Amino acid sequence: MLFGANVSTAGGFLRAIDRAAAIDADVMQFHAQNPRMWRPYPYGDDVLAEFAARMASHPTVKTLVCHASYLINLATTDPGLLAKSRAALTHNLEVASRLGAESLVLHPGSHLGAGLAPVARALALDAVASLDAAAERLGREPCMLLLENTAGAGGTIGRSLDELARILELASGDGRLGICLDTQHLFASGVPYETLDEADAVVGAVARTVSLGRLRCLHVNDSKVPFGTNRDRHENLGEGFIGRRALGSLLGHPALQGLPAILEVPGTDRRGPAASDLATARAVHAAGRRRWRARLARGGAATQPPPPTPRRAQDGRTSSRRDRRPAGSPSPPGLRR
Ligand SMILES: [Zn+2]
């Protein structure tokens, strides 16, 4: 498992790499544009070239995941907001892809009380259209677009695996779409994973709904709010209502070991995830792995990971829009991560 954190892009994309390396992150996540403004970051070919060079000079930072703007809402019925959302998603996909990100994480949006059913198809088709538009501008397929589960507040879409699975299904199983699971959102939306059995039930539910091949990223956060309260409030690992044991139960699951695991926590000094927060995450993971190994040694069951599929390219893209089959796991577990 690759551990990393969401890092600030203050001062530019290049500074983000330095920050990720300084906190000992294997994977970094940052926003492809200011998450609360429509204006895109200005960048040119010179920045892209420098970015690639800086990544090469920090080999401990192995991969990049980008996060899309929070303003994007593909489920809105406001035509102006929808047009802006489509354009921003295409732009975010383009920026993330040019930077070499393996995926772009998107909060699917809010139906503002109308329910998922009336907006699901349009949302799915808009996501596919944005991927197509980005492909056109890039002259190649963009990075994967990952829909993130939500804590379930208000009319947010993605409060359950069934909702995410429904959107992927309406996108005709487009191989460029996947999901990102956030541990805090899962807990706040009322999904328990304290014990190994409960964690296996979560992984089994992923396998039955969206399929494990489409789960491409984990956001690893503790919760400032109690179980099932539907609020999106992150806390440092071990300092919230989820706790180290439950996080270990999930992170240690054998089927999840190929995934990037990204912290989006306030940080021990409240200035974002620090090296100590990543050390905690790795320790929580190691403890969870020990418990899982002991269970398997006793003959206990675990949902199996999907069969690995070879990487087509080093940037993590494994399938094209014409590949309607769910993609396999990002890399053979235990090989690189
Ligand atoms: Zn998240």
* Domain map (residue ranges) of the chain: 2-297
Respond yes or no: is residue 67 known to be catalytic.
Answer: yes
CATH number 3.60.15.10 is the correct assignment for the domain at 2-297: no
Alpha carbon of 187 to ligand 1 centroid (Å): 12
- Burial code (b: 16+ CB inside 10 Å, e: under 16) for 301-316 equals ebbebbeebeeeeebb
What letter does residue 112 receive in the DSSP assignment? Answer: T
Respond yes or no: is residue 70 known to be catalytic.
Answer: yes
Structure tokens, 319: 């399938």
User: Residue holding tokens 């330095």?
Assistant: 18
Structure confidence at residue 109 (pLDDT): 87
Residues 238 and 284: beta-carbon distance below 8 Å: yes
Respond yes or no: is residue 58 known to be catalytic.
Answer: no
Q: Pick the catalytic residue: 94, 102, 126, 182?
A: 182
Could you state, in chain order, the average pLDDT of each consecutive group of 10 residues for the chain (337 residues)?
A: 96 93 97 85 86 95 95 91 95 95 94 82 95 97 97 89 95 96 97 98 97 97 97 97 98 97 94 96 98 95 78 43 44 35
For 183, list phi and psi in degrees, rounded to 5. Answer: -65, -35
Rounded CA-CA distance 44/151 in Å is 36
Q: What's the one-letter identity of residue 135?
A: A
Respond yes or no: is residue 185 known to be catalytic.
Answer: yes
In the chain, DSSP assigns E strands to: 2-6, 27-31, 63-67, 103-106, 144-148, 177-182, 215-220, 222-223, 234-235, 260-263
Respond yes or no: is residue 222 known to be catalytic.
Answer: no
Respond yes or no: is residue 18 known to be catalytic.
Answer: no
Beta carbons within 10 angstroms of residue 154's beta carbon:
12
Respond yes or no: is residue 43 known to be catalytic.
Answer: no
Q: Pick the catalytic residue: 91, 111, 216, 234?
A: 234
> How far does Cα 78 stand from its chain's mean position?
27
Structure confidence at residue 310 (pLDDT): 54
Structure confidence at residue 222 (pLDDT): 98
Structure confidence at residue 101 (pLDDT): 97
Alpha carbon of 329 to ligand 1 centroid (Å): 21
User: Residue holding tokens 């208000």?
Assistant: 154
Q: Pick the catalytic residue: 31, 91, 98, 107?
A: 107
Respond yes or no: is residue 193 known to be catalytic.
Answer: no
Alpha carbon of 264 to ligand 1 centroid (Å): 6
Structure confidence at residue 329 (pLDDT): 43
- Tell me if residue 28 falls in helix, strand or coil: strand
Structure confidence at residue 146 (pLDDT): 98
Structure confidence at residue 212 (pLDDT): 96
> Residue 235 — left, alpha, or beta (φ > 0 → left; ψ -120 to 50 → alpha)?
beta
Q: Pick the catalytic residue: 159, 185, 214, 216?
A: 185
> How far does Cα 4 stand from its chain's mean position?
12
